Amino acid sequence: MALIPRARLLAIAAWSLLAPATSSGQVVSREYEELLRRYQRGQRSAAVWALGTWRESDLDLQIKALQRRAEAVARCPTCKDLLDDLPLKAAVMLHADRDEADRPPAAGTEQPRRCPAGQARRAGQIAAILAQRGGTLEFARRFFLAMAQRCQWDFCLEAALQWGRDGLAQFPRDPPLLMVVGASLEERATLENAPGDERRRRFQESEKFLSDAVAGDPTLLEAAVRLGHVQWRLGEDESARLTLEKAVAQDGTPPLLYLAHLFLGQVYERAGWPDQAIGEFSRALALDPQRQSAAVALSQAYFSTGDARSARRVLGEALAYAGRRSERDPHWDYVASNAAEAEDLLQDLREETGP
């Protein structure tokens, strides 16, 4: 009988440790499960570091084992669900945090860091399992939303669209997911260098997602503000007017109401209604006199009516705030402002991974 070479014996032994167990009580390897439990216990940094020492192929074995078990549960709802014993929320966030650790900040580019890669993909695969389980589906929905927002904020717009659409595959018609897809499409159309027809197509696709978001939740003010602005960009001024007039009538935070008044003023201005435009720009500026965009728009509107004195006055008051504004103008960050709270949402999800 031929002897098995020592190198092969070592490889077989290593595989047996990392391969998912086939016994009735074990879904993934004990080593992988221990990593999940370390993260769950709050030893997050150590677990994230340890995950980075694993081979990609070994990690994929664990994910496939989880997927197979989830499929088995779906086929036999009355059978014992071994996934109940695993901290799957911790698994999602462990892989997401490892992905973040693998993406150091970039220097001198519009994109602050590389776009998500394999570890984020694994986090999404586990989140898709959670999306099918009653007690964890809301966690999964917020995870897809947070990852889409993170990617949009990092100017990884293709990845943002993919995360948003993956989330919608699990949670169809979800208004926040519809909005993040619409906002990412709007950002692409606004910032990326593309032929006119392609830009218009992107704005039209953005309009569809934002319209669906508003239809699903008429109180989602940010979606309404974005929808009105996209309609204005498309030259659909009557639709933009109706959308934004409803938006300014809603209750909302000052930054969103500021943008709603500012954009409605632009609609009135292009329609040749200077008095109405002056009214909306004035209301935007009244929410915070430091806002430069509203001041410039109001000054220009006054100037267009021949009221040069008021135009100079408004500009002079705006210049008095130069160098001492306490906050950024919401219009400056508008294209990605919907994604600004992504890291806060991800931190909330981390806090939910505990025992």
Domain regions of the chain by residue span: 253-336
Q: Considering only 161-175, 190-204, 258-272, which range has the smallest mean pLDDT?
A: 190-204
Alpha-carbon distance values, 318 to 278, 310, 323 (Å): 16, 12, 11
DSSP-derived letter for residue 171 is S
- Indicate whether 39 pLDDT > 70: yes
Give percent of the chain above pLDDT 70. Answer: 91
> Where residue 9 falls among pLDDT bands split at 50, 70, 90?
very low
Q: What is the pLDDT of residue 321?
A: 80
> Where residue 103 falls among pLDDT bands split at 50, 70, 90?
confident
Q: How many CB atoms lie under 10 A from the CB of residue 13?
A: 9
DSSP-derived letter for residue 178 is H
For 253-336, the fitting CATH number among 3.40.640.10, 2.40.50.100, 1.25.40.10, 2.50.20.10 is: 1.25.40.10
DSSP-derived letter for residue 104 is P
- Indicate whether 328 pLDDT > 70: yes
The whole-number average pLDDT for the span 264-293 is: 95
Per-residue pLDDT of 206-230, as tens digits, reads: 999 999 999 999 999 999 999 999 9
Are 286 and 278 spatial neighbours (Cβ–Cβ below 8 Å)? no
Nearest in space to 32 (alpha carbons), one of 46, 20, 24: 20
Close Cβ partners of 78 (under 8 Å, ≥ 6 residues apart): none
> Where residue 10 falls among pLDDT bands split at 50, 70, 90?
very low
Length of the chain: 355
What amino acid is encoded at 316 in this protein? Answer: G
> Where residue 114 falls among pLDDT bands split at 50, 70, 90?
confident
Q: Report residue 188 as tokens.
A: 């692409």
